[in-house]
Amino acid sequence: MIAYLILTHRYPAQFKRLFNAIYHPDNFYLIHIDKKSNAELHEDIKQFLSSYQNAKILESENTVWGGYSLVNAELRGIKHLLTLGLDWKFFINLSGQDFPLKSQKYIRNYLEEHIDNDFLKIMNQSECRADTMHRIENYVTEVDNEIISEPVFKRKFLDGVTPYIGNQWMILSRKFCEFITHSPEVERFKQFYEHTLIADEGFFQTVIMNTSYTSTIINDDKRAIDWIPMGTIKLRPRDFTTEDKLYLTKSNNLFARKFDETIDLKILDMLDKHITQTDSKFQVISA
């Protein structure tokens, strides 16, 4: 069983399409709708999910790009999923604008071969991404849905800890989810990263590499993402279109992001068809 946490804030029709594409009766689905989203979206998704006993909505909170609120939403989601008493083996976080590249049968079989492995991109932040060190050196606060950075002085990093960085999107083992939820070792990381910028790209990586937790880490989040410049301060994932069909259908990744129904809806039709066709072939091979 896979436990999915989907973070969404717009495009209810696209969310439903994602949900249907990753649905399996033996999985569990937890949905977080940003509190800032309009009431119609909340009600639309709530009504849609009411037909699925294995899907629930996580209590909504405001989330802000670059803020610790995104980490907090994921930690709350993991904790909630653990308290349900379900026998899931892997946690996968997605946004409402992600889409699978493989069928659930394929993904479930793939993960069964990697029990207790953790999939996330990891690199030494000071050595490989020195340009991002300001994220943890400046004191950051999240106030009224805004990020306020105070670069007056450089903060000292956690004693004896090496900062790591990667990507927000992960596939985590239940073993690590239990550790990050219950281990007292994690508290000082929470306290420090609460006042950092874009904490969701470093918090989980730094915890997994600097605590007593042991596991086989696969330095791959299994996501197809095309990062492109956005201004002078960051990168953003490019919206995939029909021109990317071959790249996506030939990919060894399990998921891709991101897609925008207002830019190109046809690519989702193509991926739906591809998943159905490959699932049929996979069933024949498995048999």
Q: How far apart are alpha carbons 72 and 5 in whole angstroms?
A: 13
- Tokens linked to 27: 């999985």
Q: How far apart are alpha carbons 259 and 96 in whole angstroms?
A: 9
Number of domains in the chain: 1
Are the C-beta atoms of residues 150 and 138 closer than 8 Å to each other? yes
Q: How far apart are alpha carbons 194 and 52 in whole angstroms?
A: 34
Q: How would DSSP label each residue in 43-58?
A: HHHHHHHTT-TTEEEE
Domain containing 15 — which CATH number?
3.90.550
Q: Give me the pLDDT at residue 280, please.
A: 65
Q: Kindly tell me the sign of the dihedral angle through the C-alpha atoms of 137, 198, 225, 260.
A: negative
If you search the block for the tokens 């020195």, which residue do you land on? 130
If you search the block for the tokens 């979206």, which residue do you land on? 41
Three-state secondary structure call for residue 257: strand
User: What string of pLDDT tens digits covers the 287 residues of the chain?
Assistant: 899 999 999 899 999 999 999 999 999 999 999 888 889 889 999 999 999 999 999 998 888 888 999 999 999 999 999 998 788 999 999 999 999 999 999 999 999 999 999 999 999 999 999 999 999 999 988 887 788 887 766 889 999 999 999 999 999 999 999 999 999 999 999 999 999 999 999 999 999 999 999 989 999 999 999 988 876 557 789 999 999 999 999 999 999 999 999 999 999 999 999 998 877 665 544 43
Rg (CA), the chain: 19
Q: Give me the pLDDT at residue 287, please.
A: 37
Of 69, 45, 55, 51, nearest in space to 2 by CA: 55
Angle at 74 between CA 197 and CA 36, to 5 degrees: 75
- Residue numbers of the domain that contains 195: 2-286
Of 67, 82, 72, 88, nearest in space to 143 by CA: 67
Q: Give me the pLDDT at residue 152, please.
A: 66
Are the C-beta atoms of residues 66 and 41 closer than 8 Å to each other? no
Q: Give me the pLDDT at residue 285, please.
A: 46
